[in-house]
């Protein structure tokens, strides 16, 4: 029997929070801007202009520029040990697709923490949840094999591989770290009038992958007994899978998020759960507040650290700890001492992770096991 509680117990909180924040660390501020126009680096750029141009994820902020951090490209071994094994080995009940995009060919939109996010998540799945390395398909721009470059086609092919031949008892993971944007919804599927998207490395030529596509690719095929976890560390990622149930952490209750059009967005009997970095109208951030000098997606790093230290937390406890850690970062000197960030975020680093699902469940009784 597990007692329901609104916040994690003091012991769990102390164990996790003890090393959660390194003060004085760099922070990259998010700004996901439509039309892909560069945001001026001038510190005097007005807040009204910033609001006009919208938010572009993870732009290199003034504070980091002053400190003169230099991004160095390095050649690294493939994170896909034996690509041929994907097709030749027997199936596994645990499979994952991890996608991290740096956008190396677009200097003004280049991200710095996505590769670290993928490595962190891969290590977590292998060492803490028993995922076989040969059944974790990794897509990054550092891969030499063209099949594992995160183009739109490769991402969609990998997602099809992820859910193919799924059976009862299978656990699937889709992880994405990269740019996320929004576009007008013309199908009456969204209450706010916008579809959420992820941006493949070739999105300018091949287009973005919208939430409707992701729902069709990896939600609808889930059969009874199959569980999918999607972890999306990107701007505007709140309802990126178009799942019908959304959990509101502050109110402690589920709300209906079914499309106004009545379109069917459910699984074929399986369970889909999405953990998103922020609400649909918000931006997600990279930061080195947790590991000095090394950029990570805030959600990815916090999530991985919690699951390493506290295996199998309830979903409610997990989100309580994530929100508490983000509040801790808000109050740290790495933001308080930066005039540029204080003005950009109105003195607050605002990022509210969101839990959504294909079906409701008691978040303080159901434990997370990837």
Catalytic residues: 179, 235
> Which of 179, 180, 188, 104 lies closest to 142, judged by CA?
104
Residue 125 near residue 60, CB atoms below 8 Å = no
Q: What is the C-alpha separation between 90 and 85, in angstroms, rounded?
A: 9
**Three-state DSSP state, 210:** strand
Q: What is the C-alpha separation between 125 and 346, in angstroms, rounded?
A: 37
List strand residue ranges (DSSP E) for 237-321, in order. Answer: 245-248, 253-256, 271-276, 286-287, 296-297
Residue 182 bridge partners (DSSP): 196
* Bridge-based pairing state of the strands 194-198 and 209-210: antiparallel
Residue 195 near residue 189, CB atoms below 8 Å = yes
Which residue in the block uniquely carries the two structure tokens 């199936």? 91
Q: What is the C-alpha separation between 71 and 52, in angstroms, rounded?
A: 29
The tokens of 78 are what?
Answer: 């493939």
Residue 296 bridge partners (DSSP): 287
CA dist 7 → 11, 20, 172, 283, 309 (Å):
11, 17, 28, 25, 17
**Long-range CB contacts for residues 291-294, cutoff 8 Å, separation at least 24:** 291/22, 292/22, 292/25, 293/26, 293/69, 294/116
């Amino acid at each position: 029997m597990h007692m329901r509680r609104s916040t994690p117990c003091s012991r769990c909180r102390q164990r996790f929070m003890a090393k959660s924040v390194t003060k004085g660390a760099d922070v990259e501020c998010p700004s996901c801007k439509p039309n892909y126009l560069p945001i001026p680096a001038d510190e005097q750029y007005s807040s009204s202009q910033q609001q006009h141009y919208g938010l572009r994820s993870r732009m290199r902020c003034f504070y980091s520029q002053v400190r003169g951090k230099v991004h160095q490209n390095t050649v690294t071994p493939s994170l896909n040990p034996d690509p041929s094994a994907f097709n030749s080995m027997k199936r596994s009940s645990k499979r994952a697709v991890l996608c991290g995009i740096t956008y190396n060919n677009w200097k003004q939109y280049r991200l710095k923490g996505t590769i670290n996010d993928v490595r962190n998540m891969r290590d977590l799945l292998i060492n803490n949840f028993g995922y076989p390395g040969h059944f974790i398909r990794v897509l990054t721009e550092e891969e030499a094999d063209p099949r594992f470059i995160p183009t739109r086609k490769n991402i969609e092919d990998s997602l099809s591989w992820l859910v193919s031949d799924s059976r009862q008892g299978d656990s699937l993971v889709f992880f994405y770290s990269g740019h996320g944007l929004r576009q007008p919804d013309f199908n009456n599927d969204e209450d706010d009038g916008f579809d959420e998207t992820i941006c493949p490395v070739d999105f300018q030529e091949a287009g973005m992958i919208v939430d409707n596509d992701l729902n069709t690719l990896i939600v609808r095929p889930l059969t009874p007994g199959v569980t999918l976890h999607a972890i999306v560390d990107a701007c505007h990622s709140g309802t990126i899978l178009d799942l019908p149930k959304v959990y509101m952490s502050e109110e402690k209750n589920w709300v209906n998020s079914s499309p106004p059009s009545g379109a069917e967005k459910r699984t074929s009997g399986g369970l889909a759960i999405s953990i998103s970095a922020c609400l649909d109208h918000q931006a997600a951030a990279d930061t080195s507040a947790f590991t000095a000098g090394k950029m990570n997606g805030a959600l990815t790093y916090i999530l991985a650290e919690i699951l390493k230290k506290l295996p199998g937390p309830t979903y409610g406890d997990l989100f309580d700890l994530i929100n508490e850690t983000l509040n801790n970062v808000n109050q740290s000197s790495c933001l308080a001492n930066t005039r540029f960030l204080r003005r950009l975020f109105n003195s607050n680093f605002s990022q509210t992770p969101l839990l959504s699902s294909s079906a409701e469940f008691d978040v303080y009784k159901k434990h997370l096991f990837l």
